[in-house]
């Protein structure tokens, strides 16, 4: 079922060309422009030490617990967090398969912060919502998993069941919207709640939210101006955690989503489904990634840990038939090779996937030919964050506290292993040669020629 309101000319024109293209100094949403994970401009350093520190420009303490990524616009860095009223929030990291939820948590304060990009000082802090959590979370998740997004004028922050909030870049609340209880958990047993994870994206004058939850999954677009719902499309999907992506398709654009039953393309101005490709992964987390005319979608959970390369622009059911590895719209397909939590990245001619265990695999993006498969640093580890890249450098944070730097190319070359001294689950941001790394308790700016004594940003309101 699809519902939509009257569309203004700004929304319609936004469906013709990609909106919000930014320069090297910005990283406006999860994984930057269009979720690609690629930064324009100069690359961050190859080597640093987050403990001593070396090549650390600043390190700002951040309260609470969150896996949302930082975003960057102009002279500001924005991020979100959830701060419990009392006690230390529980977080269990590492490689394990337990499905348990965290029980009996205290009331939280869901906060949005703006930091000075040059110093890490907190410019403003706003509490979006306070109260008991409306949904539980997995032991490895948080109550602030979704990365905010900005168009340079407005900032949207999604806190799952606690609502969607829009601010101007000075911290003034423009509007808020209750989207209901967004309870995402184990498809097999809904008693296990794991927390909401998809991030909002901005397209023209729309903010788009993918909400695959336990009953009543939907895709919706709201007006960025006032928060009214422009359209809503029902999705016959079990819970998922991936963020949608806007991709070019012919003379227009499409909205592409991951999902357990189908990978789908939609018209972003109306929410009308354009095409679908059958999928057989019971838990989907990765975000679709576009490069050179193809959309790459990775899924690492049973029964089929698949990797698809799809040409956007098709119509109808484009699913592969039994035994097929390609068709007119599916450029290539692997029934083994998909990865679970980290979103893939395309750098130049190559597609890179990262497994939870730290196995990095490189494919020729156009054909799916495997170039190499290596365990990072020869040891691997536990990985939840997605890789990001600038120039020919790929940055891959581990939960154990190391950021691996690998040279992009058809041969595996580890350039450095950089300690941060804290758990890392959030995906970093890159802007104008600076790598912004969110650790368990800090936001850290990594850049060349760091000051001898980095400025310490405080998490108090300004």
380-407 pLDDT tens trace: 899 999 999 999 999 999 999 999 999 9
39-67 pLDDT tens trace: 999 999 999 999 999 999 999 999 999 99
Strand ranges inside 132-261, DSSP E: 149-150, 154-158, 164-168, 173-177, 201-203, 206-211, 218-223, 229-234, 245-249, 252-257
Distance CA 434, CA 75 (A): 12
Given this model, what pLDDT does residue 344 score?
A: 98
User: In the structure, what pLDDT confidence band is assigned to residue 359 with cuts at 50, 70 and 90?
Assistant: very high
153-166 pLDDT tens trace: 999 999 999 999 99
For residues 252-276, average pLDDT: 98
User: In the structure, what pLDDT confidence band is assigned to residue 457 with cuts at 50, 70 and 90?
Assistant: very low
* Of residues 112, 34, 30, 41, the one with CA closest to residue 71: 30
Distance CA 361, CA 120 (A): 35
Looking at CATH, the fold of the domain delimited by 2-457 is given as Methylamine Dehydrogenase; Chain H (2.130.10)
* Of residues 240, 181, 186, the one with CA closest to residue 212: 240
Given this model, what pLDDT does residue 22 score?
A: 57
Q: Residue ranges of the domains in the chain?
A: 2-457
280-289 pLDDT tens trace: 999 999 999 9
List the alpha helices (DSSP H) in 134-210.
none
For residues 188-213, average pLDDT: 96
């Amino acid at each position: 079922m699809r519902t939509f309101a009257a569309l203004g000319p700004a929304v319609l024109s936004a469906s013709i060309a990609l909106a919000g293209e930014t320069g090297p100094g910005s990283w406006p949403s999860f994984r930057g422009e269009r979720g690609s994970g690629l930064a324009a401009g100069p690359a961050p350093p190859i080597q640093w030490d987050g403990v001593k520190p070396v090549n650390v420009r600043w390190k700002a303490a951040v309260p609470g617990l969150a896996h949302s990524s930082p975003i960057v616009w102009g002279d500001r860095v924005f991020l979100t967090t959830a701060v419990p009223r009392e006690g230390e929030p529980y977080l269990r990291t590492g490689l394990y398969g337990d499905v348990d939820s965290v029980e009996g948590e205290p009331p939280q304060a869901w906060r949005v912060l703006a930091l000075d990009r040059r110093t890490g000082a907190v410019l403003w802090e706003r509490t979006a919502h306070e109260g008991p959590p409306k949904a539980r979370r997995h032991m490895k998740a948080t109550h602030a998993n979704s990365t905010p997004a900005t168009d340079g004028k407005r900032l949207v922050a999604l806190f799952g069941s606690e609502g969607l909030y829009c601010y101007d870049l000075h911290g003034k609340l423009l509007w808020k919207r209750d989207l209901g209880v967004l309870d995402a958990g184990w498809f097999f047993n809904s008693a296990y709640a794991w927390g909401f994870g998809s991030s909002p994206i901005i397209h023209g004058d729309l903010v788009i939210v993918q909400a695959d939850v336990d009953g009543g999954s939907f895709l919706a677009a709201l007006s960025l101006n006032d928060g009214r719902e422009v359209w809503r499309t029902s999705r016959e999907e079990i819970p998922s955690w991936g963020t949608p992506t806007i991709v070019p398709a012919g003379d227009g654009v499409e909205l592409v989503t991951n999902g357990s039953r189908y990978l789908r393309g939609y018209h972003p101005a109306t929410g009308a489904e354009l095409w679908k490709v059958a999928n057989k992964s019971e838990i989907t987390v990765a975000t679709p990634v576009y490069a050179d005319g193809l959309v790459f979608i990775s899924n690492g959970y049973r029964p089929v840990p698949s990797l698809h390369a799809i040409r956007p622009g098709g119509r109808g059911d484009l699913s592969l038939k039994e035994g097929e590895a390609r068709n007119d719209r599916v450029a290539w397909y692997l029934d083994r090779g998909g990865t679970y939590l980290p979103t893939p990245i395309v750098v130049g001619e190559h597609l890179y996937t990262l497994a939870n265990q730290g196995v990095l695999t490189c494919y020729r993006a156009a054909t799916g030919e495997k170039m190499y498969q290596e365990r990072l640093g020869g040891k691997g580890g536990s990985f939840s964050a997605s890789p990001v890249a600038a120039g020919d450098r790929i940055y891959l944070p581990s939960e154990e506290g190391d950021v691996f730097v690998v040279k992009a190319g058809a041969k595996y070359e580890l350039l450095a292993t950089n300690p941060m001294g804290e758990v890392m689950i959030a995906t970093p941001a890159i802007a104008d040669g600076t790598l912004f790394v969110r650790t368990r308790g800090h936001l850290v700016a990594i850049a060349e020629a760091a000051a001898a004594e980095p400025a310490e940003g405080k998490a108090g309101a300004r």
